[in-house]
Chains A and B, each alone.
Chain A
Amino acid sequence: MTKQEISDFCVNQLAEILRIPKQQVDVKAKFARVGLDSAMTVYLLMELEDRLNLELSPETFYDHPTVDDLSAHLAEKVTARGQTAAVR
């Protein structure tokens, strides 16, 4: 998945979790500022794990605290994994 696809996925999930229209999800707003509690964070994390087939820890969200930042990071991880697989 590309960064844009991951970002769109996060926006959809956040809209669902927060029950707000997608247009209101600000990809540059910090998760903390949006008011996500830890149960919501875990929910988003699990959806991303499922979708990307990656293992993630809650720290990922502290290190990459916005949708923009997180999706860029995850896109890199996905690419890196693809390359490792190709080398094998």
Chain B
Amino acid sequence: MDFASLVDVLEHRAATQGDERALVFLTDRGAEDSSLTFRQLSDAANAVAKRLAAIAKPGERALLVFPPGLEFVAAFYGCLIARVIAVPMMVPRRQSARDASAAIMGNCKPTLALTSPALAARDDLIARFAEQPMQWLTVDLALAPPGAIQLPRPQQDDIAFLQYTSGSTSDPKGVVVTHAMLLANMRMAQAYLGTGKQSTCVNWVPHYHDMGLILAIIGSTYLGALCVLLSPSGFMQRPLTWLRAMSDYRGEISASPNFSFDLCIARLRAEQMEGVDLSSWKITLSGAEPIRASTIEKFIETFAPYGFRPTSMNPGFGMAEATLIVSMSPVGAGHEKRTVSKAALAQHIVRDATEGEDAAELVGCGYAMPESRLAIVDPGTLKRLPPDTVGELWIAGPHVAQAYWENPEASAASLHAHIAGEADDWLRTGDLGFLDAKGQLFVTGRIKDMIIIRGMNHYPQDIELTVQNAHPALRQNGGAVFSVVDERGEEQLVVVQEVERTARNRIDADEMTGVIREAVAEQHEVFARHIALIRPNTLPKTTSGKVQRALTRKLWQEGRLDYLTAETAA
């Protein structure tokens, strides 16, 4: 099928399979809360578009601030029909004082905000957005009259939405996602995975996360398949509901970060799994955070008795800058592992570990999607590196973004990079890895300081600022935040922070670490596992005053920082 835009796709689905169910939203207990057929979805989206067309011009930006549910999907497609650029956002939490929403609004200058009736009643939410003059529209599915409205169609290169997943809180970067990119990535995935109308998807990943929005919601409309949605918080409390939904709806595909598989294993209760049959489950895209072989194998072992097939695990790599899917292990291939020497890896060389040697177990992220290319490049010299050599992962193809919204510097540096002596544009990922002789991708780390915990990206500078604002004795620009991998293979947060000289003698270290933990958990939803308070002017910095996080990490691991108290040593 050749479509010019997702609007054409939706119209095609409504015309050819209008009475089939497009979406089901489940309650936290797994019962059906609401559902839409393709025709009902199209009608609801057209009703939103009609209201938008009356008050906005194509190209204006609309924030989508929705709780989990089907109103979001209608609002999203409504924006596409009206050619208003959608900006899906996380609903700000009540307690958090500062999040990315202000900076996102500063960058994309929305004139509209769409929300659900339930959220529209939340005073604190409206107050939070009060500084930005926007028209608010409440989307209610009950109000949709049937029929499409006549508006000019979006073209291939028109912008569908902005995905703000990269960049720090203070400097967020919105990936400009066009219809052409989305259609390309969906086409690649369909060709690679052999998916179709029968490929029911069950998803709990938030709709403001590219995995939830693109793979589950857009992907299912593209295929004409049913998409079953669960709320993320419901999943966190009762992860087995996800598995039961896979069974109830004969789900074929689902995508989820590594931690979610651990969660299912931890929460397994035999009595809650009665009658669950996972034999229809063919494709599990594991991505969005580092993938551990031990997790995959434990999940397979735990759920094999319920029909889960070992070959149904498909580790992959994706990022918003490449729409979503970059690489994935092929259907039916399962996960491939490589056990390599840690010492060699530290030198960026990939060598299979010898008997008794300290080894790292790496999980392959599969092969490049059709129509796309991967390269491993030396980040310094920008030269291509041979197989089994660690370097920066670069990506090219029709799914790669051309721009970050209103950010030409970042766009040029990351999205239009050039390999030495070559003319083509490439996306620089900032991730480190290698390709093996067959072209399978292995991701080994990151160049950038970004921290990934439970699939969410955190920027150290954001957390450092939170720490320094938590108490006057904590020195501004005197802290470093980084992550370390613990013995279970999980990323853990480490905070190293200078304490002001004047305050030093009356500092209660326990009080100070408590204040820091509380602020970090409240603002960033992360537990600060290790906190080291150090003397003023002892944090490693460059001559120009830039915090040296990598060096700080090394000194922390070696216990060589200038600790304020003995207890704050690692």
Contact = CB atoms under 8 A, between A and B. Distances in A.
B6 interface: no
Nearest to A40: B527
B358 interface: no
Interface string A25-50: 00001101111111110110110001
Given A33-B514, A33-B517, A33-B518, A39 B237 contact: no
Given A37-B525, A40-B527, A46 B237 contact: yes
The 3 closest A-B pairs by CB, nearest first: A35-B517, A33-B514, A35-B521
Given A32-B518, A35-B514, 19 more contacts: A18-B527, A19-B529, A30-B518, A32-B522, A34-B514, A35-B516, A35-B517, A35-B520, A35-B527, A35-B528, A37-B521, A37-B525, A37-B527, A38-B236, A39-B454, A42-B236, A43-B266, A45-B237, A50-B269
Contacts of B267: 46
B323 to A, nearest CB: 28
Interface string B520-535: 1110011111000000
A50 B525 CA distance: 24
Contacts of B520: 35
Nearest to A29: B514
25 contacts: A19-B529, A30-B518, A33-B514, A33-B515, A33-B518, A34-B514, A35-B517, A35-B518, A35-B527, A36-B521, A36-B527, A37-B521, A37-B525, A37-B526, A37-B527, A38-B236, A39-B236, A39-B454, A39-B525, A40-B527, A42-B236, A43-B266, A45-B237, A46-B267, A50-B269
B264 to A, nearest CB: 12
Interface string A54-70: 00000000000000000
Contacts of B518: 30, 32-33, 35
Nearest to A45: B237
Contacts of A37: 521, 525-527
Contacts of A42: 236-237
Interface of B: 236-237, 266-267, 269, 454, 514-518, 520-522, 525-529
Contacts of B269: 50
Q: How large is the interface on A (under 10, 10 to 19, 20 to 34, 35 or more residues)?
A: 10 to 19
Contacts of A32: 518, 521-522
A45 B529 CA distance: 20
A32 B521 CA distance: 7
A38 B525 contact: yes
A35 B529 CA distance: 9
Nearest to B522: A32
A29 B513 CA distance: 13
A22 B266 CA distance: 21
DSSP majority for the A interface?
A: helix
Contacts of A18: 527
Contacts of A34: 514, 517
Nearest to A49: B237
A42 B527 CA distance: 13
A38 B95 CA distance: 12
A42 B517 CA distance: 18
- The winner among B520, B521, B526 for most chain A CB atoms within 10 A is B521
A63 to B, nearest CB: 14
Contacts of A40: 527
Nearest to A50: B269
Nearest to A18: B527
A30 B515 CA distance: 11
Contacts of A50: 269
B260 to A, nearest CB: 11
A38 B517 CA distance: 13
Contacts of A33: 514-515, 517-518
Contacts of B517: 33-35
A45 B528 CA distance: 20
Contacts of A43: 266
A33 B236 CA distance: 22
A24 B159 CA distance: 54
B231 to A, nearest CB: 13
Nearest to B267: A46
A35 B522 CA distance: 8
A2 B514 CA distance: 29
Contacts of A35: 514, 516-518, 520-521, 527-528
Nearest to B525: A37
B295 to A, nearest CB: 16
A46 B241 CA distance: 14
A50 to B, nearest CB: 8
Contacts of B522: 32
A11 B525 CA distance: 22
A69 to B, nearest CB: 17
A36 B514 CA distance: 11
Contacts of B236: 38-39, 42
Contacts of A36: 521, 527
A77 to B, nearest CB: 18
B93 to A, nearest CB: 9
Nearest to B516: A35
A36 to B, nearest CB: 6
Contacts of B529: 19
A37 to B, nearest CB: 5
Contacts of B526: 37
A30 to B, nearest CB: 8
A39 B527 CA distance: 9
Nearest to A19: B529
A74 B529 CA distance: 28
Contacts of B516: 35
A8 B525 CA distance: 26
A45 B517 CA distance: 20
A29 B520 CA distance: 17
